[in-house]
Structure 1
Amino acid sequence: MSTDEKDSSSLEKPPSSTEVKDKVELWKINKETKELIIKNYSGNGNSTWETLPECSLAEMGFAECSKDIKFRFEFGKENIIRKITNILQNKIGTDMVVHVGDQDFPCHWPVLYYYSEYFKKFEKVNDIFLSSDKVTPKGFQLVYEWMTDINAEIPWKNFVDLYMAVDFLKISELHELICCRLDNPKLLSGFEAFKFFLQTLPLNSALLQDLMLTRINKYFLLAVATEEYLNLEPKHVFNMLNQMNMCVNSEMEMFMSGVRWLLYDWPNRKQYAVTIMQAIRFNLMPAWYTTSLKSKHQNANFQELLDISEVQTMINLGMSFSVTHNFLDPISPLREPLQMQKPHDRQWVFNPKVSHHHRCECPKWRFLSIDVFNQYLQDIINAAIQYVPSLENVKPGQLMPCCQEALEKKSLNT
């Protein structure tokens, strides 16, 4: 059998795998087609193969577009931010530890470096130790939460811890936010300021203490009525009495506030009497009151206080100032040589229902003795939160109607 016949025979019998069910052939090739396939397959025909010429894309017309096309690939940015936030808030992959007192805080160094000027002075370190006298563990915790959590809520009761940390670590952005809150009386009342002042005392933060004292204002005598005031250290009492923003009706109330603290434990506190009295501006008192302080008093401890030579000098200078000031012309050239420059006033307030707030010419007036002052403090304690709304700011030249009437009657009789 020839090769052609073999090939032809093999083509005539396709594999049995091409048959299905009833053995019907799926395809058939006619004789002419089979011969043509065999002829080309065997290569015996007249071949006219040509070499295919090489052709580039550019030659085919697919030249590079002259216009620079840019693509915007959208991706889940919010998802990335969420993941970064999760890393910061849950302290994943922290690279250093801040030690505050006996507590350790794993942190991300870039976060601290970005917000805090204090940390910028360090090279990359693994551990930093902070003194708990400067930064409390609670304060650092609150600061770092603010850095890493956009929804961080800081309890107002921890304000002192927060402020101490912010001030020491020099976090300017958070410091500005805190100062804005301090100017809001709804967030920081005078009594809240006094409580924060008490919290700052163990921390030795003079700046924060002074800041809180300036916010006490109309709550001053409410603070004086407390047990906490009576237990203050001498220097803190002096700072309170020396603060010009305290609201009182007269310098006599400031004087009695100092006397109250001294007489609470006179045997142990008499050594501080001169220091405490130096915070009192005797030259703001009327001459009739300083004169009364030179008379004898029934309270032995009070009399001992007034008999101290340095205190007597203060009273005498105050009385001389008051008398001279009343008779000296406001534009007199003698005011400067005589040192007649009036000291800064306090924040003057009054309550028409308080007897010693009236003019001494008024029939409603009572002399401000120790007993009268103590009764006034008891009234303040009883009034509690209603005390401050009862106070009114004194306007220049303002007199209560009854006091004005009493003065007019006096002028008619003279």
Structure 2
Amino acid sequence: MEPGDSDTARSAFSDKTFVFEESTTAPKKMGARKTEQPKTWNVRSRFHRAKKAKTARSSKPKTKGKKAEGKQPPNRSKTTSPDMSEDISWPKDFCRQQEGELRWKMFTDDEYANWKAFKDNDCKVPLRSVFSYLQVKPYPVAIGNVPRKKSVPSVLADMVDGNHGAYTRIQIGDQRFQCIPSLLKCYSVWFSNRDWRMTRFEFWEEEVPASGFAALYDWMRTKQLPEFKVAVATLQAARHLRVPLLEKDCWQVLSTDEVREKRAFLVFLEAKELPALGEVCEVMLSRLRNYFLALVGSPEFLDLEIQVLEILLRQDAIGVNSEMEVFFTVLRWLGHSVEPSRLPYMRRLMNYVRFHHMPMTFLFSLRESINRADKDELFRPDPVLLAFNRDPDTMASLEQAISFIGVRCQYDDIDEFLAVCEDHRIGVVYPRQWVYHPNCPYHHSRLTFPYQHRFTVTEFTEYVTSIQEVWAGEGPADHGRSLVRDMDKDPMLRRQNDWDE
């Protein structure tokens, strides 16, 4: 057993165990004042201690029940360990073991400098923490609670939202815009092809509308679709600056079911002033049906270009109840007093009038007026009718239409009629999709071939003028669906649709 007040440690380089004990260098006297004595360290190897214990047991006389006589107790004043009481040379052994196996000392730089001598000394380092024998004052360390850094995407998003770093200036008319150059070059092919050192740009209002560019830049920053009222201007800016992604979004805004009839015509009026939106104009004109007769009676109709009127007249689904209304529409546009005169466009527009589907009685009246000898005097007050009756191609168009109507009246079967037209090389002209206006006094609710409409140009003008109030502003909320009713398709038109399918 090891002493109770001892410490043990194992050397890293030996299998020996060191025992540390407290002892005093002098015996205590009775009644003397108790003072703290210096400590000494008694180091013994485990092997040495075991050997001493074995020797002591072998030399002890075997007595039972009493102590050996003449045996004196060991002198406790000479040593603190009973096992080493008879070994007077233990201080030397202790010093030798301390020097050979464990040195409690501080090494100097000079000793480290002579590495060979330091290595030969075979110095050992105690297996104790340096904080067990050094007084260390606690030194509190303050660790700042630094907030977490933002990620790069969030920093860029904040930069775009706040329009930070916008040092590129765009001048459009009297308006100026501060823009982020990298954002413009990311979406616009036009800006990406410019010199990166350029920071000032100026555009014409016709090429890049200011309202359109503002919506374009907001779209780049927020990805929000432009509003309907600026969709046309935004599309023009996107076309000029070559932003294809925004073009698709603008078409999405303009392709809703709400953009038709009067609203589609208003979009057309805005788009026709912009050079890059010819396609938009044609698409918007194709959405006019219920509004067609109201358009003919409006002041805007008289100011349309010849190309726009041609787009309208070639459509099959304009909202008319008779081809006579198309004929009177052409006369109304030609008779508008402008300089130069529109009469040279007479034949060009009459080619879009489908005389083959006019009432036979009306065709006879037109042919009779052409054959009158006094037609010059009769139509002198109306230059348009005079030009129509003087046109040499007018009579040929009327004769072909009359022949077509006569042949069709002889055949109830459409396939048989079309075969006859092909055999005799008779030109086939298909009708339009007729509609019925309940408020129109001369419209027919049921149509059968040959058509039997009878009304004058005065009645036509009065009706198209009377419905202007209904179509004021953007027109009715239902885009005129309650004002117009679709008619059954003509058998020839149904056959044409079957072939197209």
Is residue 144 of structure 1 aligned with residue 231 of structure 2?
no
Following the alignment from structure 2 to structure 1, what is the Cα–Cα distance between the partners of residues 466 and 293? 11
Identity %: 22
Q: TM (normalized to structure 1)?
A: 0.68
Match of residue 290, structure 2, among 218, 222, 229: 218
Q: What's the Cα RMSD here?
A: 3.8
Aligned to 2:386: 304
C-alpha distance 226-125 of structure 1, shift in aligned 2 (>3 A):
farther
Aligned to 2:261: 190
Contact 2:442–2:453 (CA under 8 A) maintained in structure 1: yes
Match of residue 389, structure 1, among 451, 468, 482: 482
1:285 aligned partner, one-letter code: M
Aligned to 2:406: 323
Match of residue 422, structure 2, among 330, 335, 345: 335
SS in 2 for 1:389: coil
C-alpha distance 215-168 of structure 1, shift in aligned 2 (>3 A):
farther
Deviation at 1:316, TM superposition (A): 3.8
Contact 1:356–1:366 (CA under 8 A) maintained in structure 2: yes
Aligned to 1:357: 443
SS in 2 for 1:332: helix
Aligned to 1:405: none
Following the alignment from structure 2 to structure 1, what is the Cα–Cα distance between the partners of residues 149 and 428? 71
Following the alignment from structure 2 to structure 1, what is the Cα–Cα distance between the partners of residues 126 and 296? 103
1:330 aligned partner, one-letter code: F
Aligned to 2:53: none
Alignment of 1:45-64 (within 5 A): 48=99, 49=103, 51-52=123-124
Max Rg structure: 2
1:262-292 per-position Cα deviation (integer Å, ceiling 9, x unaligned):
2232783323333332332333334333223
C-alpha distance 383-138 of structure 1, shift in aligned 2 (>3 A):
closer
Alignment of 1:132-171 (within 5 A): 132-150=205-223, 152=224, 154-171=226-243
SS in 2 for 1:335: helix
1:100-121 per-position Cα deviation (integer Å, ceiling 9, x unaligned):
4565433334433433444455
Is residue 378 of structure 1 aligned with residue 465 of structure 2?
yes
Alignment of 1:202-217 (within 5 A): 202-204=273-275, 205-217=277-289
Deviation at 1:325, TM superposition (A): 4.1
Alignment of 1:13-412 (within 5 A): 30-33=35-38, 48=99, 49=103, 51-52=123-124, 83-94=155-166, 96-100=168-172, 103-122=175-194, 124=196, 126-127=198-199, 130-150=203-223, 152=224, 154-186=226-258, 188-204=259-275, 205-265=277-337, 268-296=341-369, 300-301=381-382, 302-309=384-391, 310-327=393-410, 329-332=416-419, 334-335=421-422, 338-343=425-430, 345-358=431-444, 367-384=454-471, 385=475, 388-396=481-489
For these two proteins, the number of residue pairs brought into alignment is 338
C-alpha distance 331-320 of structure 1, shift in aligned 2 (>3 A):
closer
SS in 1 for 2:235: helix
Deviation at 1:213, TM superposition (A): 0.5
Deviation at 1:311, TM superposition (A): 4.0
C-alpha distance 159-254 of structure 1, shift in aligned 2 (>3 A):
farther
Contact 2:234–2:250 (CA under 8 A) maintained in structure 1: no
2:390 aligned partner, one-letter code: I
Q: TM (normalized to structure 2)?
A: 0.57
Deviation at 1:161, TM superposition (A): 0.4
Deviation at 1:155, TM superposition (A): 3.1
Q: Structure 2: where are the runs of 5+ without partners?
A: 1-33, 42-93, 105-122, 128-146, 370-374, 492-501
1:137-177 per-position Cα deviation (integer Å, ceiling 9, x unaligned):
22122111111124x46332222202222333443333333
2:367 aligned partner, one-letter code: K
Moved more, 258-267 or 96-105: 96-105
1:210 aligned partner, one-letter code: E
C-alpha distance 116-249 of structure 1, shift in aligned 2 (>3 A):
farther
Contact 2:231–2:254 (CA under 8 A) maintained in structure 1: no
SS in 2 for 1:105: strand
C-alpha distance 327-383 of structure 1, shift in aligned 2 (>3 A):
same
Contact 1:95–1:126 (CA under 8 A) maintained in structure 2: no
SS in 2 for 1:283: helix
Q: Structure 1: where are the runs of 5+ without partners?
A: 1-28, 37-44, 56-73, 399-414
Contact 2:346–2:388 (CA under 8 A) maintained in structure 1: no
